[in-house]
Amino acid sequence: MTVYKQNIRHKSSLLIWVAGFILLLLGYRFFELQVVDYHKYWSKAQSNAVRRISVPAQRGIIYDRNGVSLVDNSPIYDMKVIPVDVTEVFNYGLLADVTGLEETELREKIRQGKRGISRFRPLLIQRHIGFEVMARLEEYRLELPGLIFSQLPARVYPDSCKLTHSLGYLRNITEEIIQHSDTTLNYRPDDIYGAAGLEMSYEAYLRGRDGVELHTVDILGRDLGVLQQENYYPPVPGSRLDLCIDARLQLKGERLLAGRRGALIAMDPVNGDVLAYVSSPDYDLDSFVGPIPYDLWNKWNTDPNRPLLNRVINGTYPPGSVMKLVAAAAALKYKSVSPTWTVNCTGSYVYGNRTYHCWNEGGHGLVNLKTAIKYSCNVYFYHLIQQMSLEQWASMARAFGFGSRTGIDLPYESRGVVPTKKYMNNKYTSRGWAKGNLLSFVIGQGDVLATPVQVAQMINLIAQKGRTCKPHLSKDIMLTPFRLDLKPSTWDFIQQAMWEVVNGEHGTGKSSRIPGPAVVRGKTGTSENPHGEPHSWYGGYVTLPDGRMMTIAIIVENGGKGSHVAAPMAKEMFQLFSDLYLTSG
């Protein structure tokens, strides 16, 4: 009996020690949870009750030079769910009925979203839904746990002018874009970004910084709304972008080219400001607010009129007779001929076994360098190019900016082509071309290709006697000088010849002349086109009595003679510029 009692006492003591040890462990664990690791688990507990929701920033508004709003924002909504919060009470059928989505696809998408760490992150269900749809779904929030909405700024275009190809558009972000972008942009899946034009060039400037909104979530995963706390970070809107564009000149240019294929760019030659920028035909920028239907995108891409082509910087054309100004500058610089050197134009010129024709089949008679520019005499320039080398001509063309990008603040600018001896040897081999090819180059034909913005930059240099700046659409950009050093007498000669083109008797550019004190100088061009009617060119500038100027370059594809189509368009632009700025301060 004594032994039995001893065993009982021994077992009791053992149980007491075990229980005490367990209580000690529990106490230590309680102390660790409540004191040592308090902040760690408090943060985790908070994350179960609070969701961090990104709030997209408003993109910067874009204005013209006079403060007219060209691009603004209008809210649309993205519908998302947090997969981990979607419970068995989630009404898939209701969501499918309201949104038009397939119920089976909804279930599968959310099921996939519940895998891994991504189950805690918002999962995009549908982009760009209207306020009415959002409001209707908000009424059934208890049946849709985990459903959230985020506001997204969509672009709207309040002014009458379009500026389609220069403004550009926004697109949905892709993983490739995220991986190759500057990390300071902080892109996330389902973001939007500037994909073309100024929206792309000034993406970092316009984008702004997204904010963070805290939402309370109950035990069933239902979003109970915004949690108003001090650690809420509001979005920072993007910066405004002020353009050099004058909306009034822009609208006039768009109306002049409506229904045609072509391009127009008007500039201030003093500082490189782009006053009007038109590429026609264009497309509807409003189509880029939401996903573009495949049929519409395919239609644009297969349209023979190529509405997606930005003709001002990407259209490469034979520049035609406007290039005769380059040959004149080269002749004067290298003293190939004197300004009084004459040629008798009979309407044709024979070189080897081929006959080259002047546009005036009856001929211009005896012409010198100035009258050859005035009448745009091909035969004179056929003779002139024989007095200089290909490299001399090509060097002058490159000095004017042809064959290289102007540096305008838009992406994907084309270079064009200035054929050199190396270029011709690579393309045709040394036996595949001869000096006779220069007869085509000197009148802006053959392998010579230029963009309208390059022609405008040439006119800028002439108007300012070799001193201008790189073209730009933003007023806030740092000016970059562009120079071409020629003798003052050379610039005076070219300017006077261009005055004769417009104001002299029988000048080819007389249809660009405007009445009043403003003075117009210009050069017409007609470039042959193997695919149809020739292209109509005009490059020139107007000078107001106070010294202010506007240069312009216009091409109308298949428009015929420059004197008949492009020059009258230039006249209307010059007249409007004169009316707007002649008496303004």
Residues 292 and 217 in one domain: no
Residue 289 lies in a domain: yes
Residue 440 lies in a domain: yes
Cβ(538)–Cβ(554) below 8 Å: yes
Residue 191 lies in a domain: no
Q: Which of 196, 221, 242 is the last residue of a domain?
A: 242
Cβ(284)–Cβ(406) below 8 Å: no
Question: 142-151, 393-402, 575-584: which has the highest mean pLDDT?
Answer: 393-402
For residue 426, pLDDT over 70 is answered with yes
For 536-560, letters b (16+ CB in 10 Å) and e give: bbbbbbbbbeeebbbbbbbbbbebe
- Is 582 in a helix, a strand, or coil? coil
Q: Are strands 519-527 and 535-543 parallel, antiparallel or unpaired?
A: antiparallel
Report the CATH number that the domain containing residue 545 is assigned in CATH: 3.40.710.10
The terminus-to-terminus CA distance of the chain in angstroms comes to 122
Q: What is the pLDDT of residue 286?
A: 79
Residue 167 lies in a domain: no
Residues 281 and 215 in one domain: no
> Is the Cα dihedral 136, 142, 144, 150 positive or negative?
positive
359-385 pLDDT tens trace: 999 999 999 999 999 999 999 999 999
DSSP character for 236? B
Cβ(167)–Cβ(197) below 8 Å: yes
Q: What is the pLDDT of residue 368?
A: 98
Range name among 261-265, 436-440, 457-461 with the lowest pLDDT average? 436-440
For residue 188, pLDDT over 60 is answered with yes
Residues 327 and 215 in one domain: no
Residues 261 and 235 in one domain: no
44-86 pLDDT tens trace: 554 456 767 778 889 999 999 999 999 999 878 889 988 888 8
Residues 278 and 238 in one domain: no
Q: What is the pLDDT of residue 391?
A: 95
Q: Are strands 123-129 and 69-81 parallel, antiparallel or unpaired?
A: antiparallel
Q: Which domain holds residue 135?
A: 51-161+210-242
Report the CATH number that the domain containing residue 233 is assigned in CATH: 3.90.1310.10
Residue 9 lies in a domain: no
Cβ(111)–Cβ(207) below 8 Å: no
Residue 19 lies in a domain: no
Residue 333 lies in a domain: yes
Q: What is the pLDDT of residue 551?
A: 98
Residues 355 and 498 in one domain: yes
Q: What is the pLDDT of residue 220?
A: 54
Q: What is the pTM of this model?
A: 0.84
494-525 pLDDT tens trace: 999 999 999 999 999 999 999 989 999 999 99
**Count of other CB atoms within 10 angstroms of residue 31:** 11
Range name among 123-127, 327-331, 573-577 with the lowest pLDDT average? 123-127
Between 491 and 146, the higher pLDDT residue: 491
Q: Which of 242, 261, 285 is the last residue of a domain?
A: 242
Residues 404 and 465 in one domain: yes
Residues 260 and 279 in one domain: yes
Residues 231 and 99 in one domain: yes
- Taking residues 300-316, report their average pLDDT: 95
Query: Residue 20 has which token pair?
Result: 């005490």
Query: Residue 331 has which token pair?
Result: 């002749």
Residues 413 and 368 in one domain: yes
Number of domains in the chain: 2
CA 438 to chain centre: 36
Range name among 279-288, 290-299, 359-368, 459-468 with the lowest pLDDT average? 290-299
d(Cα 123, Cα 137) in Å, to the nearest integer?
17
For residue 582, pLDDT over 90 is answered with no
Q: How many residues does the chain have?
A: 585
SS3 labels along 550-573: EEEEEEECCCCCCCCCHHHHHHHH
Residue 186 lies in a domain: no
- Is 78 in a helix, a strand, or coil? strand
Which helix (H) or strand (E) segment holds residue 39: the answer is helix 38-49
The candidate with the shortest Cα–Cα distance to 222, out of 81, 371, 15, is 81
Residues 233 and 252 in one domain: no
**Count of other CB atoms within 10 angstroms of residue 288:** 19
Cβ(507)–Cβ(522) below 8 Å: no
